[in-house]
């Protein structure tokens, strides 16, 4: 989002550009992960209230794509203000990385602007109903550390490093076998509102469709690849030095 003079607030043309960028991402077979960020000192202040007349209730979502399902992983890289519709954009993403100094909140509460880009539905699914209602009803500010404690964000990094950290995670995700990571992601997301039995059936259908990839990966592991946690973020174990024999 590139409107730093407006804290990346979204007007009609920006919503159109976001929708078109998302459409290109979905259509590009070489693009495996989407990283959403804002230029300058803010992620996004949400809808541009000075140009709110340019936004419309499109089927895809007023801010561009917030009512659409992404078939591939998405990460929000949040530095600075992430409030109102900006928070709803971040909630749309699978993962959220925040820089120290980031601020989250449903600030539209002060002006009587409703949450119409998924916030009332995604926030309770991420942080629980009690915390979600606290933020939605009070409209209060939440800093990065409190957001991490809530489960609102997945990781906090030094200020200004959110995009860098998000790209690091994106490279990890893009490097995994895609068939299974996409199947597991879809089962987790689409199964959230299902009864357990229905969710297990969904997992079975999606997972077993990729079983050939899993078998090939198991053969690589059996052949010695990935031992000692290699390739798993934070899982690599240092090699123990060979003890010297007493003379």
- pTM for the structure as a whole: 0.89
Structure tokens at 55: 């936004």
Task: Report the alpha-carbon distance of residue 145 to residue 40 in Å, rounded.
Answer: 21
Domain boundaries, the chain: 4-172, 177-229
Domain at 4-172: CATH code? 3.90.226.10
Say what the pLDDT of residue 236 is: 60
What strand order describes the sheet that includes 81-83? 42-44, 81-83, 103-105, 142-143
CB 158 within 8 A of CB 77: no
Structure tokens at 205: 């259908």
- How many CA atoms, within 13 angstroms, populate the side-chain half-sphere of residue 116? 14
CB 144 within 8 A of CB 101: yes
Closest CA to 142 of 90, 108, 105: 105
- Residues in the chain, pLDDT under 70: 214, 217, 219-232, 234-247
Say what the pLDDT of residue 215 is: 72
Catalytic site residue 236? no
Say what the pLDDT of residue 48 is: 95
The rounded Cα 187 to chain-centroid distance in angstroms is 16
Say what the pLDDT of residue 122 is: 98
Catalytic site residue 108? yes
Catalytic site residue from 5, 108, 171, 203? 108
Catalytic site residue from 88, 164, 198, 203? 88
């Amino acid at each position: 989002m590139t409107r730093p003079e407006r804290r990346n607030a979204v007007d009609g043309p920006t919503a159109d550009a976001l929708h078109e960028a998302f459409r290109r991402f979905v259509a590009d077979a070489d693009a495996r992960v989407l990283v959403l960020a804002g230029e300058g000192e803010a992620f996004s202040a949400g809808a541009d209230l000075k140009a709110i007349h340019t936004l419309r209730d499109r089927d895809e979502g007023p801010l561009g794509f917030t009512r659409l399902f992404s078939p591939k992983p998405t990460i929000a890289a949040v530095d600075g203000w992430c409030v109102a519709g900006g928070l709803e954009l971040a909630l749309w993403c699978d993962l959220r990385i925040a820089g120290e100094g980031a601020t989250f909140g449903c600030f539209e509460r002060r002006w009587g602007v409703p949450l119409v880009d998924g916030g009332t539905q995604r926030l309770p699914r991420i942080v629980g109903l009690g915390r979600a209602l606290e933020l939605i009803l009070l409209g209060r500010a939440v800093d990065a550390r409190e957001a991490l404690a809530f489960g609102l964000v997945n990781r906090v990094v030094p200020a200004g490093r959110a995009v860098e950290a998000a790209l690091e995670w994106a490279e990890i995700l893009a490097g995994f076998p895609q068939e299974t990571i996409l199947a597991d992601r879809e089962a987790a997301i689409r199964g959230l509102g299902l009864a357990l039995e229905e969710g297990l059936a969904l997992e079975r259908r999606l997972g077993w469709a990729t079983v050939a990839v899993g078998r090939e990966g198991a053969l690589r592991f059996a052949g010695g690849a990935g031992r000692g946690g290699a390739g798993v973020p934070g899982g690599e174990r240092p090699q123990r030095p060979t003890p010297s024999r007493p003379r």
